[in-house]
Amino acid sequence: MGGCCEPRSPRPKMFSVGGNNIGVFGLDEVIREVADLEPLTEDRRISELLSRFRRRNYFPDSARDKYGEALLAEYKKHISEIKKESVGGSERRMEIKVLGPGCKNCKTLESAVLRVLEEMGVEASVEKVENPRKIVELGVMMTPGLIINGKIKSTGKVPKPEEISKWIREEMGK
C-alpha cells in the first residue's frame, strides 16, 4: 500500500481562496468535469464546481462563497487558456457558419450558437450563409446546417446546445 510520499501519490495544487494559498486535490479534474457540462448558467457553474470540489476537499460552510468565487475565477482562467491554445504555434480563431435561407429553424440555430459561445466564453467568427448556391457548395443539402472550422457538424435539424458546446470543445482541441 502506497504512502503519501510515493511518486504516484496525488500531489496538492496551490489554490488561492480569499488571499490565502491552500493545497487542494483534483482541481484540474473538477474544472474538466464542469467544462464538459457546458453550457451552464453562472450560478449552476458555481454550484457544480463547489459540489465536485467538495467531494475531494474539505472547506467550512462559512467559506462557501469565498470558495465559489475562487473556483469560478480558476475555471475562467482555465477556459481562457484553452481559447489561447495554438496549433502550429499560431493562434487559431474559431470559424462557425450557420447555413439556411432565414427560416425559423435557421434563426433558432444561429441564436443557439451565439448563446453557447457566450456561455462558454469562446470567441468565434460566426457567419450566416443564406445563398442557396453557396450552401450547396459548402456540402449542405438540408438546412439548417452548422459548420465549425470547415467541418460539417449538423444538417437538417437544430442540434441541442449540449451538442453544439461539445463540437466547439472538440474544435478547441479539448
Active site residues: 103, 106
Which residue, chain included where needed, has cell 482555465? 78
For residues 102 and 29, what is the distance between their CA atoms, to the nearest angstrom?
41
Burial string for 43-69 (b: 16+ CB within 10 Å, else e) reads eebbebbbebbeeebebeeeeeeebbe
Three-state secondary structure string covering 77-131: HHHHHHHHCEECCEECCEEEEEECCCCHHHHHHHHHHHHHHHHHCCCEEEEEECC
Longest Cα pair distance anywhere in the chain, in angstroms? 66
Which residue, chain included where needed, has cell 468565487? 69
Say how many CA atoms lie within 13 Å of 73 toward its Cβ: 11
